[in-house]
């Protein structure tokens, strides 16, 4: 009897292992890539959230408002008082402004803070004091001495000072006032841009841009005026008067008034010219040798400096050789 036994052999092809290994490797690589992208995205979002949280919880050290207030805050009273004290003490042994006169001007500067346009005729002992008291504003000096102006600017960087050429003489005051009054409707009118004026008392050689500045305070403490051939302060007083009455108002500047101080007011030139062009009705106080006027902006169609154009002083102008002069320096 023949036995029939079939033996079956199963062969495993190597390619089967290779294929399964490739599938496994591809799946593993795909999932690793996904994990990396997931970690990257989570990291980015975490960093963004952290930065946003820090910015929202930590206040800025200096805000724009605080920066603005830091630069426009008025000078502290303690510093102002100290400056006035030492200036007055220094002046005690010399012929300069007294403590009361200094305080009068300083008070006005304080009231027009934080930004005040301050024009000063004459470089004097008090010049640096004015710059310090008006540290938030603009202070400009005008003086007849070109060398002194140059030296002052070199010694004190940041100071704005210009030299002027005066053609007037104290001895010619009466004639100059008469000529000016006769041209009050033309070259010597109260409201105008003096840059284009031919008025003999008008100062037209200042830097052009100064004529457009709305001056809040003007101090006339120069040029020299204590001898007959000195230029005198006729032009400075007249020019201050025109600048105040021609003041441009608008925009950020709504103040139509200008404070004008005249030092050495006891002298005839200062007193008569002030009465003619600054006017008695605008005189608010006199402190020793200092006169304080407050002038309002005037319309262009006005041709009189004063409401009362025939004052007691102007009707009796002294002759050219009888103008009273004080001895000593002006400042």
Per-residue pLDDT 10s for the chain (331 aa) are 444 545 454 444 544 444 445 445 555 555 666 666 666 676 766 666 666 655 655 544 444 444 444 445 666 675 766 676 666 666 555 568 999 999 999 999 998 867 899 999 999 989 999 999 998 899 999 999 999 999 999 999 889 999 999 999 999 999 999 999 999 999 999 999 999 999 999 999 999 999 999 999 999 999 999 999 999 999 999 999 999 999 988 766 678 999 999 999 999 999 999 999 999 999 999 999 999 999 999 988 888 999 876 544 444 455 545 565 654 566 6
DSSP sequence for 181-223: HHTTTTTT-SSS-GGG---TTS---S-GGGGGS--SEEEE--S
Between CA 331 and CA 329 the distance in angstroms is 6
Nearest to 269 by CA among 218, 235, 306, 304: 235
CA distances from 48 to 53, 58, 174 (A): 9, 16, 81
Per-residue confidence (pLDDT) for residue 72, from 0 to 100: 55
Report the pLDDT value the prediction gives residue 57, as an integer from 0 to 100.
Answer: 52
Report the distance separating Cα 102 and Cα 106, nearest Å.
Answer: 6
């Amino acid at each position: 009897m023949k036995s029939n036994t079939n033996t079956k052999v199963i062969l495993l092809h190597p390619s089967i292992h290779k294929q399964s290994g490739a599938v496994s490797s591809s799946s593993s690589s795909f999932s690793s890539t996904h994990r990396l992208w997931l970690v990257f995205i989570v990291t980015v979002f975490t960093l963004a959230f952290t930065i946003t949280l820090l910015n929202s919880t930590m206040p800025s050290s200096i805000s724009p408002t605080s920066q603005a207030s830091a630069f426009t805050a008025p000078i502290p009273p303690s510093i102002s008082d100290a400056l006035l004290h030492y200036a007055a003490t220094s002046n005690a042994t010399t012929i300069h402004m007294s403590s009361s006169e200094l305080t009068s001007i300083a008070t006005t500067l304080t009231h027009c803070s934080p930004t005040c346009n301050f024009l000063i005729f004459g470089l004097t002992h008090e010049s640096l004091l004015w710059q310090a008291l008006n540290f938030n504003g603009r202070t400009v000096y005008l003086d007849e001495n070109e060398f002194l102006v140059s030296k002052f600017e070199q010694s004190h960087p940041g100071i704005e000072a210009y030299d002027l050429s005066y053609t007037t003489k104290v001895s010619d005051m009466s004639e100059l006032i008469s000529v000016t009054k006769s041209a009050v409707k033309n070259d010597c009118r109260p409201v105008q841009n003096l840059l284009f004026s031919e008025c003999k008392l008008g100062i037209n050689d200042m830097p052009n841009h100064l004529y457009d500045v709305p001056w809040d305070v003007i101090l006339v403490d120069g040029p020299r005026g204590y001898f007959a051939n000195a230029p005198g302060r006729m032009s400075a007083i007249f020019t201050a008067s025109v600048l105040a009455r021609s003041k441009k108002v608008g925009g950020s500047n709504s103040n139509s008034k200008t404070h004008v101080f005249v030092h050495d007011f006891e002298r005839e030139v200062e007193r008569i010219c002030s009465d003619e062009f600054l006017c008695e009705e605008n005189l608010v106080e006199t402190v020793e040798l200092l006169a304080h006027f407050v002038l309002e902006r005037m319309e262009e169609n006005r041709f009189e400096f004063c409401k009362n154009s025939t004052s007691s002083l102007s009707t009796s102008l002294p002759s050219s050789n009888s103008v009273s002069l004080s001895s000593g320096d002006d400042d």
